Amino acid sequence: MPTWRILERFIKGRNSVLMTATEKNQDQQRAESLGIVPAVRRPIKIVFLGAGSFFFQRLLMDVLGIPGADRGEIAVVDVDAERLELADRLGRLIVDKMGKPWVVTACTDRRRVLAGADYVINCIEVSGVECVRFDNDIPARYGIDQCIGDTIGPGGLFKALRTTPVFLEVLKDVESLCPGAWVLNYTNPMSILCLAAARSSQVKVVGLCHSVQGTGHDLARYAGVPYHELRWACGGINHLAWFTELSRDGRDLYPELRDKALNDATIYEQDPVRFDMMFHFGHFITESSGHLSEYLPYYRKRPELIRKYCRAGYKGGSGFYADQWPTWRRECDEKRLKLVTGQEDLVIDRSWEYASYIIQAMETHQPFVVHANVPNTGLIENLPRDGVVEVACLVDRNGVRPTHFGPLPPQCAAVCDWNMRMYELAVIACIERSREAAVHALMLDPLTAAVCCPAEIRKMAEELFAAEAAFLPGF
C-alpha cells in the first residue's frame, strides 16, 4: 500500500473515529514502520482516580499502546484498599505483558501522588453501591420508573449530589498540586460534573463518553454500511447528541434508515425508543434506547407506554441498573482476580475510548478529533451559552479546542435545552448544598415532571434526602 494511502487512512480513521480499534492498530503499525507517525518523546505521568472502575484496565492498555509511550508513571488511586490492591496487581500485569517499563504506584490518598501529573483520569464512584436501591426504589413508589438512573432523573440527581462535591475537591487538589494537568472525566453524571467544574474551577476539564463512537457503529450496522464509509455530523449534550447529518458517498442515509426501521422488526426492535424519536424528531440520538427513555417525558410515564417502547435489560428494563450494578461490580473484581492469578489470559488491544488518543495528540502534536463535553461558548448557537455541550473538538499540543457546530434543528435543541435547565439547578444544588435547588431540579426533570405534581416531587426528594443523609454531608 502506498505511503500516502496509509497516512490518509490512519489520519482519517483517527480523526473521525470511523475505524474499528483493530483497523486502527493495523494502520498505525504500518504507518509506524514507515516512520510517519510521531511518537511520544518523554515520560508522562497519569493519575487514575477510581481504580476499581471497569475503565481502568481498558484505558491503561490504551495508554501503553500509544507509539513511543515506553516510559512513564501510572499512579492508581482508590479509597477502597482491597480494590486498590487488586487494581495495582492488574496494572503491573498489564505493564509486564506489554513490555513497557512504566512505574506503577498505588495509594488511597490522591494528594500523595498528584504532584507532577500530566493527566488525571477521573472514574470515581461515590457511595454508589450503598445508595443505588434508594435512587431507584423511592422514586418507583411515586410512579417514576427508571432503567439506569445515574445521569438524569431522581437517581441521576442524587448521584450528582453525592459525587459533585467530591469531584470539586479533586479539582482543588489538582489546582494546587498539578495545575497544568488535563482532567479527563469519565464519571457520571457527565453534564452536571462538567458544568460544576466550569462554574467552580480553573482546571482544564474535558468530559469523555463513548456514546458518539458507539452510536456511529450502531448506525452503520442498521444502515448496512461499512463503518468507515459513514459521514456524519453530531452535536448536542451528553447522551442527547443528535446525528444531524448521516450520509455515504454524498447520499443521505436517513430515508433508507427510516424505511428499514418501519418495515423490518429485527432492525426496529434493536432500538425502539431511538427509532421512534427519529421518526418524530427527524434525527438519531446518541444514547441507547433504555437510558434515553429517561431523558424524555414520553416513554416511561405509563405502564402501557413502557410495554410498547421499552424492552428488557439495557433497552429499558425497569430498575435494570439498580438490580445489576452490585453484580457487575463483583464480577469485575472476580475477573481481575482471575487475570492476576493467571486463571485467564490478558488480551491486549487498543479500544476506541478517547483518553489515549487525546494524550497521544497532545504529546505528539498529531491532530485528532474527539466528541467531548465542554462549555458552550456559542458552539451550538441555540443552546444556553452558560451550559455544557458535546461537540467535535480538535486535539493537539495546544490542548482540546472545541469546534463550532452551529444551530441544532429547533425541535432537537428544545429537548436538549429542557435537560440543561435541570442540570443548571442540579449544579446550584451541588455547589451551594441547597436542598431547595435540588427539589427545583427534579421539578424540571422531564420524566419526573411527566409523572408527578410539584407536591409529590418535593415529598419524594425529602424521602431521598432522609434515606441518603449519611452520604450527603452539608445538605
Known catalytic residues are 210
- The set of cell numbers assigned to 374 is 465542554
Which helix (H) or strand (E) segment holds residue 389: the answer is strand 388-396
Cβ atoms 408, 383 nearer than 8 A: yes
Is 122 in a helix, a strand, or coil?
A: strand
Cα–Cα distance measured from residue 144 to residue 147, given in angstroms and rounded to the nearest whole number: 10
Among the listed residues 310, 226, 221, the one whose alpha carbon sits nearest the alpha carbon of residue 261: 221
* 211, HSE (Cβ side, Cα atoms, 13 Å): 28
Question: Parallel, antiparallel, or unpaired: how do β-strands 204-207 and 182-185 relate?
Answer: parallel
Cβ atoms 158, 135 nearer than 8 A: yes
Cα–Cα distance measured from residue 67 to residue 227, given in angstroms and rounded to the nearest whole number: 25
Q: Which residues contact 397 (CB under 8 A, 6 or more apart)?
A: 361, 362, 363, 364, 365
Question: Parallel, antiparallel, or unpaired: how do β-strands 231-237 and 240-248 relate?
Answer: antiparallel
Cα–Cα distance measured from residue 316 to residue 4, given in angstroms and rounded to the nearest whole number: 46
- Alpha helix segments (H runs only) across 34-80: 55-64
Cβ atoms 185, 156 nearer than 8 A: no
Q: Which residue has the cell 450528582?
A: 160
Among the listed residues 475, 470, 458, 468, the one whose alpha carbon sits nearest the alpha carbon of residue 155: 468
Is 269 in a helix, a strand, or coil?
A: coil
Instruction: For the chain, report the end-to-end CA distance as a whole number of angstroms.
Output: 62
Among the listed residues 329, 369, 328, the one whose alpha carbon sits nearest the alpha carbon of residue 352: 369
